[in-house]
Amino acid sequence: MAKDDVPEVVRNKRVILRDYVTGFPKESDMHISFSTMILKIPENHKGVVLVKNLYLSCDPYMRLRMRNDQDPEFTPFTPGSPITRFRVAQVLDSTHLGFKEGDFVWGTTRWEEEDSFIARPERLFKIRHTDFPLSYYARILGMPGMTACAGFYEVRSPKRGEYVFVSAASGAVGQLVGQLAKLEGCYVVGSAGSSEKVQLLKERFGFDDAFNYKDEHDLEATLKRYFPEGIDIYFENVGGKMLGAVLINMRVHGRVAVCGMISQYNLDQPQGTKNLMCLDYRRIRMEGFVVFDFCHLYSEFLHKMLPLIRDERITYMEDIAEGLVNAPAALIGIFSGNNIGKKIVRVAPE
């Protein structure tokens, strides 16, 4: 706050979506705009907070909101306005009883440096454990961590000795699912898109095995090789051909947690998936889930994850881009698999 209670006026950078996107998104689908903002909530504006963003999360799901889809489950971004997604932020001003200046929070935000008044701050998660780097709340202790846990435990109920396959396994969610599966005593194989990532999966994240799907021409045969006994649990992040190849390699009573299908997001016409007949005679259960449905379990999730992180039984890899001006490139990069681990953007120092 400036001297004499004269509110500070700042120049605020924002990432604006130019127009709805078809096909593969490009950096030029977004541009940086500037606005000016007063860093003080007007006195008559009750129950809101004003935050300064620290970290932004780059998620494949954002691609779905870049298209003009009539699906009621997606609110498309508004062309000409900032795009939105999870972030870690610090409260600059608050007229809400639950938050005070200086608090750290995570939740959904616009992609800008400062975030103007957040009208329903009760939707934010307050960060109470600050003995971890704050960026953890954009990744392992935030949405990707919750997604991995919700999908793996709530949806798929793993059992010791089961065979687990994770696609996009070095990504934000996949690397955690694999480690959680190992902690449960499962046999875990992951797929990724480069030999560097494959090495990481095996050496750093403790996967039993891993392969580069780009080197494989017959995914059905590949999976048969890695899972001669078949797959019990598939954590689905990619969709399309991979899903078809997995289904024909599933065991009876196999389970598929559908977390995302990144291979389909940039296609105007989605690919068809084969081998769905296996669902029937192999009694396979395939279930989609969305992390928002599990928010009420956040404290349980923390209770589980915090000791695992403190004891270094779980590790995590992030890939940080610096500055909001680099946010569009960072986001686009995840669709080419440029990132290794969770891609986040550091907007401001902690």
5: three-class secondary structure by DSSP = helix
Nearer to a second copy, 185 or 288 (CB): 288
Asked whether position 132 contacts a second copy by CB under 8 A, the answer is no
Residues 244-273 that bind a second copy (CB under 8 A): 244, 252, 258-261, 264, 270-273
Asked whether position 23 contacts a second copy by CB under 8 A, the answer is no
Asked whether position 218 contacts a second copy by CB under 8 A, the answer is no
11: three-class secondary structure by DSSP = strand
Asked whether position 274 contacts a second copy by CB under 8 A, the answer is yes
Asked whether position 20 contacts a second copy by CB under 8 A, the answer is no
Q: What angle do CA 116, 117, 118 make, to 5 degrees?
A: 115
Tell me the two tokens of residue 344: 């986040």
Question: CA 197 to CA 145: how far, in whole Å?
Answer: 19
Asked whether position 225 contacts a second copy by CB under 8 A, the answer is no
> Which residues, 6 or more positions from 283, have their beta carbon under 8 angstroms from its beta carbon?
252, 253, 254
Asked whether position 281 contacts a second copy by CB under 8 A, the answer is yes
Q: Which one of the spans 10-18, 81-89, 284-292, 330-338 is the region binding a second copy (CB under 8 A)? A: 284-292
Question: CA 180 to CA 185: how far, in whole Å?
Answer: 9
What is the CA 329 to chain-centroid distance, rounded?
17
Residue type, 271: Q
- State the minimum distance, in angstroms, from the CB of residue 246 to a second copy: 12
Nearer to a second copy, 188 or 261 (CB): 261
Question: CA 139 to CA 35: how far, in whole Å?
Answer: 28
Q: Which of 20, 74, 117, 335 binds a second copy (CB under 8 A)?
A: 74
Q: Which one of the spans 71-79, 98-106, 109-117, 296-304 is the region binding a second copy (CB under 8 A)? A: 71-79
Q: Which of 177, 278, 324, 327 binds a second copy (CB under 8 A)?
A: 278
